[in-house]
Amino acid sequence: MFELQPRLTGDLLELRPLRQEDWEGLFAAASDPLIWQQHPASDRYKEEVFREFFRDALASGGAFLVSDKRTHQIAGSSRYFGYDPAASEIEIGWTFLARSYWGGKYNAEMKRLMLEHAFRFVDRVIFAVGTENIRSQKAMEKIGGVRTNRRRPVNLGGTNAEHVVFQINKPG
């Protein structure tokens, strides 16, 4: 069975299961409007909108708090979702990093840690990215994500937002 919330540690980051008591620190990291500028939920920096995101993250059973290994500062969050053993597939998504962690090396390490863990259980990992979120699409390409022909509507606060699907297959 897929372990949805392991502790994952790299050279730069630590990922651990998200907990209720992480609310204040994670909201502080997420409250920068520029983080969400290209995201379909561009108002997620607002407390009431982020509170729903946080509730959903806890309820998902697959969400992580991402922190800086050296300073223990909260860097962001990500999660596993939609494990499908028959298709040997899982999704990684709902990822964000505070702007001080932008630039590639932190996202690359976070995704590498999550992918290595996922490939112990599945052959394919997918990522749904908003059609207008060019920054995240480029980040997906940097880590080896291949844009597929699949599209997916994602419900964001009662509104469906079109997403493109990227895929990374298990090496070997």
Give the separation between CA 152 and CA 108, rounded to whole angstroms. Answer: 24
- Among 26, 27, 44, residue whose Cα is nearest residue 35: 44
Q: Calculate the average pLDDT of the chain.
A: 94
Residues 6+ apart with CB under 8 A from 106: 12, 13, 75, 97
154 pLDDT higher than 80: no
6-29 residue pLDDT tens: 999 999 999 999 999 999 999 999
Whether 108 contacts 143, CB under 8 Å: yes
Helix (H) or strand (E) holding 111: helix 105-118
Give the separation between CA 108 and CA 33, rounded to whole angstroms. Answer: 23
157 pLDDT higher than 80: no
Angle at 50 between CA 105 and CA 118, to 5 degrees: 45
Give all domains of the chain, ordered by start, each with its CATH number: 8-124 (3.40.630.30)
pLDDT for position 155:
72
